[in-house]
Structure 1
Amino acid sequence: MTAPVLEKPVTEPSAPLVEESPARPAVTPARRRFLQGAWVVSLLAALVLGFVGYLFTLSHVQERHYQSSAYKTFKDQLARAVAPTGSADDGDPVALLDIPAIGLHQTVVVEGTTGRDLMRGPGHRRDTALPGQGGVAVVFGRGATFGAPFAELSKLRVGDRIEATTGQGKYTYTVNVYGDGDHPITDPARNRLVLVTGDSDWIPGSTVMIGARLEGDPDQNPGGRPVTVAYDKALAADKGALATLQLWSLGLLGAVVGALLLARYWRPSAVYLSLAPVVGALIWAVYENAAALLPNLY
């Protein structure tokens, strides 16, 4: 007899263990609205912080760039004896200003005192005499943004010298009197210079004025200067920039929306890199027009 053969029990192959990933919780409509709102708030906060950065850093670079270009232009005009001595176009260089006591050297003074004019440097009020001419010459300057050329104006003391160069020559003024928005300068001297800036390095509420008398005889004042407009006054905002700001803002919004839509169909990194210069230029234009709505002496 042969021994019975014990058959091994047949076992089915065990299925490989697969870890089930936990199901992602569904995004509720309330959560989706919260995330969208947080994204919008973050974007607005970034734009506001960017505007602050523009005012206190990039605006200075912008002003220095214009000053460098305007200085070369004006020195060439002086050399060819064609520098303006009467009325000039807004933003054109009309004088050079030196105030050693506050570290101001060969600063270009432009024609006009609107917010946009003062983005380029100190501005000559269009209805007054040019420095060195008979009469009162008035020059505005910013105290915090766009180079802040008059940030240290209140540190001037009686006896400090101010030198101005125009197409008619070089002139020296001596500081002799102070004033402000509530107490305007009163000086019987006919030929003098008045420098004006804001009373604060934050949003100014009034003005600081420095008066100086011309040393020696003045040159001829051709007169016939245009009258001022509302935007020329101290602490005035350029309300005309509001419409332009709205247009640039719409352009920026359109560029951002366009980039997001294109990123759905093409490689996102390529889309963002291609449109970054466009968006950057639009943001700059928005910031510049928004700055024009601030007080012109800021």
Structure 2
Amino acid sequence: MRRADRPAHADIVTRGITVTVLDGPETTQCPDAAERPLFLLVGQMFAILGAVLLCFVAQLALIGAVKHERDQDRAFTDFRYQLANATAPVAALTEDGRLLETGTPVAILEIPRLRLREVVGEGTSSRSLKSGPGHLRNTPLPGQAGTSVVLGRKAAYGGPFSRISELRTGDAIVVTTGQGEHRYLVQGVRRAGDPERPAPGSGAGRLTLITADGPHFLPTDVLRVDARLTSEVVATSGAVPAFAVPENERLMIGDSSALVPVVIWALILAVAAVAVVYVRQRVGRWHAWVIGVPLLGTVGVTLADQAAALLPNLL
């Protein structure tokens, strides 16, 4: 009897004993074993992608903060030496009329209320603000007549300006430059839509601190803190016109010069990922772990650091 014609069970009589035979369930064919390596490969690639994203988050929130502290220690040592030898810059231009090199220490910013002390570097690109606050090139240095502008990050790379929104009218700010110590008193905090303050009068000085406004890592606009100079105004020299400021140093702009390094490191990461997967397939799991963790970790963190420069400079 054919399988399709017989009932789900059959009684067989053997030597007077009736035995009931039940048909088993229909068996399904297992997927082709040759397809398994493909699924495994895809899974491993997604795992590597997830690790890279984790490196990116760690770079912004943790590793970046360590880098910021390291760069600040170096800048403070260098600037203190320059102050002691009267070689600290007092203008945004060098003696031969060129822009100061990006990242050159130009001031030490102290806000007692926030227990903040940061070395201010020249330039405000996303890359340079990883190391600390930056002085906007086309504004006078602190202590000089006019409005001096300093930009700083709100969240990433230590977020040195994360709490400046807490400043209140009358809070003190002290800035040390190559021309001495300059004291300011906070006038207030401004957000998008608030009226601008009138320009300081002739022979008067102001300091404006700028950072991102809104939740951490999700900026909605910019926040400004204005402070008036209460100490003596010092000589102003070496003014830089606004058109001389590079595009990547303007507010909420990323550093496009980081695009090429990002592409290069992304290619290196892709090659490293393929190599690790190959080792996993051909040699073994533990060999892949021993080789892959330090290799992909190093490349992933470097790629994340370069990619972070493409994000807005006040993030």
Higher mean C-alpha displacement, 42-51 vs 134-143: 42-51
Residue in 2 aligned with 1:54? 59
CA distance in 2, matches of 1:120, 1:239: 18
Contact 1:204 1:295 survives alignment (8 Å): no
In 1, are the aligned partners of 2:143 and 2:233 still within 8 Å (CA)? Answer: yes
Which segment is superposed worse, 253-262 or 206-215? 253-262
Cα deviation 1:188-232 (Å, max 9, x = unaligned): 424100000000212212011000000132111112426212211
Q: Is the 2:164–2:225 Cα contact (8 Å) retained in structure 1?
A: yes
Displacement, 1:260? 4.5
Correspondence list, 1:35-184, <5 A: 35-87=40-92, 88-105=100-117, 107-183=118-194
Residue identity matched to 2:302: A
Cα deviation code 1:6-62 (max 9, x no counterpart): xxxxxxxxxxxxxxxxxxx66456655444333322222221122112211110001
Following the alignment from structure 2 to structure 1, what is the Cα–Cα distance between the partners of residues 235 and 32? Answer: 78
Q: Structure 2 stretches of 5 or more lacking a match?
A: 1-29, 93-99
Q: Quote the Cα distance in structure 2 between the aligned partners of 1:80 and 1:166.
A: 13
Query: Is the counterpart of residue 294 in structure 1 residue 311 in structure 2?
Result: yes
2:6 aligns with: none
Which residue of 185, 194, 219 maps to 2:196? Answer: 185
Paired residue for 1:7? Answer: none
Paired with 1:54 and 1:125, the residues of 2 have a C-alpha distance of 25
Q: CA deviation at 1:271?
A: 7.4
Q: TM-score under structure 2 normalisation?
A: 0.79
Distance 1:182 1:126 in 2: 25
The 3-state SS of whatever aligns with 1:98 is strand
Identity %: 35
Q: How many aligned positions are there?
A: 274
Q: Which has the higher contact order (CA 8 A, sep 6+)?
A: 2
Partner SS state of residue 240, structure 1:
helix
How far apart in 2 are the matches of 1:140 and 1:134? Answer: 19
TM-score by length of 1: 0.83
Q: Do 2:182 and 2:229's aligned partners in 1 also have CA atoms closer than 8 Å?
A: yes
1:165-203, CA deviations, whole angstroms, 9 ceiling, x for partnerless residues?
001100100001322233363134241000000002122
Distance apart, 1:239 and its partner CA: 2.2
> In angstroms, what is the RMSD of aligned CA positions?
2.4
- Quick one: distance in 2 between partners of 1:181 and 1:283? 36
The equivalent position to 1:214 in structure 2, one of 213, 229, 233, is 229
Cross-structure match for 1:283:
300
- Does the 8 Å contact 1:194/1:209 carry over to 2? yes
**2:209 corresponding residue in structure 1:** 195
Residue 242 (1) aligns with residue 259 (2): yes
The answer to whether the Cα contact below 8 Å between 1:174 and 1:213 also exists between their aligned partners in 2 is: yes
Instruction: Tell me, yes or no, if the aligned pair for 1:199 and 1:207 is still in contact at 8 Å.
Output: yes
Query: 1:135 deviation in Å?
Result: 1.4
Alpha-carbon shift at residue 294 of structure 1 (Å): 1.2
Paired residue type of 2:263: Q
Aligned to 1:52, the other structure's residue is in SS state helix
- 8 Å CA contact retained: 1:181, 1:208: yes
Deviations 1:82-111 (A, max 9, x none): 011112210111100100111202x11011
Contact 1:178–1:185 (Cα < 8 Å) also in 2: no
| More displaced 10-residue stretch of structure 1: 199-208 or 140-149 | 199-208
Contact 1:86 1:225 in 2 (8 A): no
CA contact (8 A) 1:59 1:145 kept: yes
Stretch moving more, 219-228 or 125-134: 219-228
Aligned equivalents of 1:205 and 1:266: distance in 2? 50
How far apart are the structure 2 equivalents of 1:136 and 1:247? 40
Q: 1:150 to 1:252 in 2, by over 3 A?
A: same
- Structure 1 partner of 2:14: none
Q: Please, which moves more after superposition, 25-34 or 156-165?
A: 25-34
Cα distance between partner residues in 2 of 1:259 and 1:46 = 13
8 Å contact kept, 2:248–2:254: yes
Letter of the 2:114 partner, please give it: I
Q: For residue 166 of structure 1, what is the amino acid of its counterpart?
A: T
